[in-house]
Amino acid sequence: MERQIIGKNVEKIDALALATGQPVFTDDINLPNTLHIKFLYSPHANAIIEDIDTSEAEKLRGVHMVLTYKNTPQVYHTTAGQGWPEPSPYDTCMFNQHVRFVGDRVAAVAADSEEIATEALKLIKVKYNVLPAVFTPEEAMKEGAPILHEENPQGVYDYKKNLVAHIEVKAGDIEKGFKEADVVVEHTFETQFAQHSPIETHATISYLDENGRIVIRSSTQVPFHVRRIVAQVLGIPVSQIRVIKPRIGGGFGSKQEIILEEVCAFVTMKTGRPARAVYSREEEFISSRTRHPMKITVKIGAKKDGKFTAIRMYALSNTGAYGTHGLTVASNTGSKTLPLYNKAPNVEFVADVVYTNLPVPGAYRGYGATQGYACLEQTVDMVAEKLGLDPIAIRKINHIRKGETSPIFEALGEGREGVVQYIESEAIDKLLELGAKEIGFYEKWGKKIRNGSKVRGVGMSLHMQGSGIPKIDMGSATMKLNEDGSVNVLYGGTDIGTGLDTVVAQIVGEVLSIDPKKVIVYPSDTDITPFDKGAYASSGTFISGSAVYNTALKLRDQILEVAKEMFGEQDSKDYILKDGFVISERSGKRVSLSEMAYDTFYVKKQKQIMAVGSFVSESSPPPFAAHFVEVEVDEETGIVTPIKYVAAVDCGIVINPELTKGQIIGAIVNGIGYALTEEYKFGENGKVLNPNFMEYRIPSSRDIPEIVPILVETYEPTGPLGAKSVSEININGAIPAIGNAIYDAIGVRIGSSPYTPEKVLKALKEKNK
C-alpha cells in the first residue's frame, strides 16, 4: 500500500503550544473563589484513628471544610482506573479510619489559600492506636502477622493472609520438563520500589457548571474511569459529572489512578465552590503511586542443543497498603514474558500479591513485564553459558515466531483468563542481528576490555509486550466534515504527551487523503467525545488508533456515497480519495471535500457528513524489542556507566518515526534510571527517606549513554494501518541487559536492582574471596 501521511514525521500537533508556554495544563488556569486542598498524612505505618479533633482547624479564618473519614463517604472502591468490572479489590475509602502506611491520608483541609490550608493541618489533633506493621511480603504472609484489611475487601483472595491475589497457570508437565532437561538453572532476582516521576505532579481542579453539574479538570490518563469511579464514591450518577483532560505533563501509569479527583469533586459538591488539589513532589513520592517491587525466581530446563524443556516463574509481589493493580500487574509478569519462549512445552507461572505497610504501587510503564524480564532475561543468559551457547544463539533457538502461539496467551490474561492468539507479525531474528551488529556484540562479548580499574562488557535481552487488553478495552470516535474540507475528530483517547493526537490526525489524514493539518483532533472529554478506556496497556495507537481508523473508513464511505449522487453515477467502486478530492477514475469527474461540505450543508441533500465508530480487539499483538548495551564497570568505585545502548524494535508499521523514536528513547532512559539509581529508601518505621529529586536520582542529560533506536517495520494485520504499540516495551531492557553486561565485564551477578556501586563492590569482594 502506498502511504501518504503515515510513516512521515508530521509535527506533533500540540508541540508549539507547549514550547511557547500556552496555558494548557490542569493548573494553568486560575478560577476565582477557589478552595485549595491540602492533606494530612499518617506518620505511622499501621494504626487505627481512635479520635480525630478538627474543631480548631475549622475555626481558622479561611477554612471551609475539614475532611476526615467521619464526614466523607465510606464507600469502598479501588483507585485503579481500569475497565469494569474492576479486577482490583475494593479496599480503599476516600479517607480510612485504619491508616496503613506512612503517607496514608488522614484528613484534608479546603481553605481560601494554600497557606491557610497548611496552617490548619497543624491544628488537627489525631489520636492513633499504633499497631505492629509488616514491610515485606514474607513477613506479611506469616502466621500471626497483622491483618491489614480486616474488612475483607471485595476482590481479595485471602484477607487473613494479606494475600490480595494468587495466580497459578500451567501448561504441559513442568516436572517432566525439568527431568528431560540436560541442564537446569534457577535464579532469583529482586526489583525495587520506584516512582514514575512525571515532571507535572498530580493536579485536579473541580467546579460546578451553570447547571450545577460537577466539572473535573484533571491530569489523568483515564477520564472515563475517573467519571465512573467518582460517581461511585460520591453516590451520584455519571450524568452529574464531566471530566476534562487538558494537556498532561507525563503519566507513565501514575495517573491511571483516581487519587485527587474524588476529593476535589466532593469539596465542590459540598461547598459549590471550585476546588483545587495539586500534589507536591514529596507527596508524589509518599502518597501517589509507585512500582510493584517483586522477588522473582525463574527456573529453566534446557537440552544440550539449547532448546528449553521447561520454564517456571514465581513472582512475589509487594502491593503495599492497597491492592490497586496488584492482580493485573502480577498477571502481566507472566503473560507478557513467558510466551516469548514458546519452544518450552512445559510452563508454569505462579504469583502471590501481598499487602504490606508500605506506599502503594500501581500501574507503571512496563506493568509487571519489567519485573519479569529483569529475572527471566538474566536466567536465559545463565542457561546459555552452561550450554556453551552465546546469548543471541539461545534466544534464536527458543523465541516465538510468526504464525505460532503460546498456551500462556489463553491461560493468563489481565487478572482473568486470556484469549488464544497467534503472532501475526514478528521480526525477532532481524532485531537480534541488527542490534548485535550496531553494538559490535560478537567483537566485544567475552573480551573484558580493561582500562585501569575500568572494565567493559556487553549484554543483551529480548522482549515482547502487548497492545491493549483484548476483549476488554474499547475505544471510539466521531468525525465530521467541515466547509473547508477539514475534519473534526472527537475521540475518547488520552494523549498524555506521547503524541497520540498527532498519530490520530495522521491515521485520519491517510484514510481520507487529506493534510493532517486539516484534521482537528479533540481528545477525551466525557461530555463531548465518545468513550475510550484511556491511556494504558500500550493501547493508544492500537485501540484508540483503530477506533479512529474504523470511524474514518465510515466517513469515507459516506463521502463516496455523496460523491456518487453529486456525479450522478451508479456505483462508486472506482472512486479514489486524493489530496482532498474524490475522483471518479472512470468518468474523470472530481469534487473537493470542501465543495461537498458546502453542498451538503447549504444546497442539495442537506445533512451532516458524520460518522461514529468503535474498536475492541480480539488479540493483543505484541511488539518485540532486542536491547543491547555496552557498559563500563569501575572495579575500584563500583560505578556502572552505560556507554552505548541499542534498541532494535518491531512495532509494526511506524506511523510517525520521530514520535516513535521519542517513545523508545524516553523509555530506555527511564529504564536506565530504574536499573542504576532509582530506588525508595525506607526508615525502620516504613517512612520514605528520599522523597525528592535530590536523593531519588532520575537521569539527567549528563547521565545518558549514546542511544541508538533501530526501527524494523513489520505489518500487523490487526492494527490500524499495520501498527502495533511501542511506548511500554522499551523500559524492560535496561535491568537485564545491563545485568548481563556487568556479568560479561566482571563476572558477577547482582541479585537485585538498582545496580548501585555498593552492591557491585560487595559482589566483587565475595567473588574474590
Partner 1 sequence: MKVHYKINGKDYEFDIHPGKVLLDVLRENGFTEVKGNCYMGTCGACTVLINGTPKTSCTILAAKINGAEITTIKGIGDILNPHPLQKAFVEKGAVQCGYCTPGTILSAYALLKQNPNPTDEDIKKAIDGNLCRCTGYVQQIEAIKYAIALLKEGR
Shortest Cβ 371–partner 1 spacing (Å): 20
Taking CA atoms, 495 is separated from 14, 204, 350, 480, in Å, by 10, 17, 35, 21
- Spatial contact of 622 and 466, defined as CB atoms under 8 Å apart: yes
Integer Cα distance of 284 and 215 in angstroms = 24
Q: Closest distance between ligand FES and the C-beta of residue 543, in Å?
A: 23
Site string for partner 1, 238-277 (x = CB under 8 A): ---------xxxx-x-------------------------
Using an 8 Å Cβ cutoff, are 120 and 63 in contact?
yes
* 677-710 CB burial, b ≥16 within 10 A, e <16: bbbbebeeebbbebbeeeebebbeeeeebebbbb
25 binds partner 1 (CB under 8 A): yes
The DSSP line for 32-79 is TTPEEEEEEE-SSSSEEEEEEE-HHHHHSTTEEEEE-TTTS----B--
Count of residues interacting with partner 1 (CB under 8 A): 57
Among 492, 493, 497, 545, binds ligand FES (CB under 6 A): 497
Site string for ligand FES, 191-220 (x = CB under 6 A): --------x---------------------
> CB of residue 733 vs partner 1: minimum separation in angstroms?
13
CB of 731 to partner 1, least distance (A): 11
Minimal distance in Å, beta carbon 230 to partner 1? 24
Q: How far is the CB of 18 from ligand FES (least distance, A)?
A: 8
**CB contact at 8 A, 395 and 376:** no
Beta carbon nearer to partner 1, 20 or 451: 20
- Choose from ligand FES, partner 1, none: what does 132 bind? Cβ within 5-8 Å by kind: none
> How far is the CA of 101 from the CAs of 45, 230, 284, 357, 459, in angstroms?
4, 23, 14, 5, 38
Min CB(247)–partner 1 separation in Å: 7
Nearer to ligand FES, 497 or 652 (CB): 497
- Shortest Cβ distance from residue 725 to partner 1 (Å)? 16
> Going by DSSP bridges, is the β-strand pair 454-464/449-451 parallel, antiparallel, or unpaired?
antiparallel
Compute the least distance from the CB of residue 628 to partner 1, in Å: 16
Is residue 280 near partner 1 by the rule CB under 8 A?
A: yes
Is 246 a binder of ligand FES (CB under 6 A)?
no
Q: Judged by CB, which is closer to partner 1: 23, or 132?
A: 23
User: What is the grid cell recorded at 259?
Assistant: 487519587
Give the shortest CB-704-to-ligand FES separation in angstroms: 13
The residues that bridge with 126 in the sheet, in sequence order, are: 52
Q: Taking CB under 8 A as the criterion, which residues in 177-216 touch partner 1?
A: 196-201
Are 69 and 132 in contact by the 8 Å Cβ rule? The answer is no
The answer to whether the CB of 748 falls within 8 A of the CB of 763 is yes
CB-nearer residue toward ligand FES: 199 or 420: 199
CB of 497 to ligand FES, least distance (A): 5
Of the candidates 499, 523, 622, 754, which one interacts with partner 1 according to CB under 8 A?
Answer: 499
Smallest distance from the beta carbon of 364 to ligand FES, in angstroms?
A: 16
Contact status, residue 368 vs residue 331, Cβ threshold 8 Å: yes
Q: Do residues 412 and 331 lie in contact, with contact meaning Cβ atoms separated by under 8 Å?
A: yes
Q: How far is the CB of 432 from partner 1 (least distance, A)?
A: 23
| DSSP letters for 590-637 | EEEHHHHHHIIIIISS----EEEEEEE-S--PPPEEEEEEEEEEETTT
Q: Give the orientation angle of helix 326-335 with respect to helix 369-387, to 10 degrees.
A: 30
Phi/psi of residue 652, nearest 5 degrees:
75, -150
- Looking only at residues 656 through 715 of this chain, which bind partner 1 when binding is defined by CB under 8 A? 658-659, 661-662, 665-670, 692-694, 698-702, 704, 707
Torsions phi, psi of 262, nearest 5?
-70, -30
Residue 424 cell numbers, joined: 501475526
Per rule CB under 6 A, is residue 418 in the interface with ligand FES? no
Among 5, 6, 14, 256, binds partner 1 (CB under 8 A): 14
Q: Which is nearer to ligand FES, 9 or 692 (CB)?
A: 692
- Distance (Å, whole) CA 546 – CA 222: 18
30 binds, among ligand FES, partner 1, none (CB under 5 to 8 A by kind): partner 1
Distance CA 46, CA 658 (A): 48
Q: Please report how close the Cβ of residue 663 comes to partner 1 at its closest, in angstroms.
A: 8
What is the Cα–Cα distance from 390 to 383, expressed in whole angstroms?
Answer: 10
User: E-strand spans in 330-379?
Assistant: 346-354
In this chain, which of 73, 146, 250, 580 binds ligand FES, going by CB under 6 A? 250
Nearer to ligand FES, 7 or 250 (CB): 250
Cβ distance to partner 1 smaller for residue 25 or 598? 25
In whole angstroms, how close is the CB of 246 to partner 1 at the nearest point?
11
CB of 438 to partner 1, least distance (A): 15
Residue 20 binds which entry of partner 1, ligand FES, none, with Cβ cut-offs from 5 to 8 Å by kind? Answer: partner 1
Cβ–Cβ < 8 Å for 604, 535? no
183 binds, among ligand FES, partner 1, none (CB under 5 to 8 A by kind): none
Q: Please state the φ and ψ torsions of residue 432, each to the nearest 5 degrees.
A: -65, -45
Instruction: Give the separation between CA 459 and CA 444, rounded to whole angstroms.
Output: 10
Nearer to partner 1, 217 or 399 (CB): 217
Q: Which is nearer to ligand FES, 92 or 663 (CB)?
A: 663
β-pair type (640-650, 590-592): unpaired
| Cα–Cα distance measured from residue 203 to residue 248, given in angstroms and rounded to the nearest whole number | 10
Which CB sits closer to ligand FES, 256 or 324? 256
* 381 vs 678 by CB, closer to partner 1: 678
Residue 199 or 689: the one with the smaller Cβ distance to ligand FES is: 199
| CA contacts within 13 A on the Cβ side of 489 | 35
**CA separation, residue 184 to residues 309, 387, 400 (Å):** 9, 10, 21
Q: What's the chain's Rg over C-alpha atoms?
A: 27
In the shown chain, the binding pattern of residues 147 to 186 toward ligand FES, with x for contact by CB under 6 A and - for none, equals ----------------------------------------
Shortest Cβ contact with ligand FES: which residue? 199
The 442-471 site mask, x for binding partner 1 (CB under 8 A), equals ------------------------------
Residue 692 zone, left/alpha/beta (φ > 0; ψ -120 to 50; rest)? beta
Site for partner 1 in 310-339 (CB under 8 A): none
601 phi/psi in degrees, rounded to 5: -80, -40
| Closer residue to partner 1 (CB): 17 or 528 | 17
Nearer to ligand FES, 199 or 576 (CB): 199
Map the footprint of ligand FES across residues 513-542, applying CB under 6 A: none
Name the residue nearer to partner 1 (CB basis): 38 or 100: 38
What minimum distance in Å lies between the beta carbon of 282 and ligand FES? 12
Q: Distance between terminal CA atoms of the chain?
A: 63
**674 burial via Cβ count (<10 Å: 0-12, 13-18, 19+):** buried
From the list partner 1, ligand FES, none, partner contacted by residue 723 (C-beta under 5 to 8 A by kind):
none
Q: What does the binding site for ligand FES look like in residue numbers (CB under 6 A)? A: 199, 250, 497
Q: Which residues bind partner 1 (CB under 8 A)?
A: 9, 11-12, 14-25, 27-30, 196-201, 247-250, 252, 280-281, 284, 496-499, 658-659, 661-662, 665-670, 692-694, 698-702, 704, 707
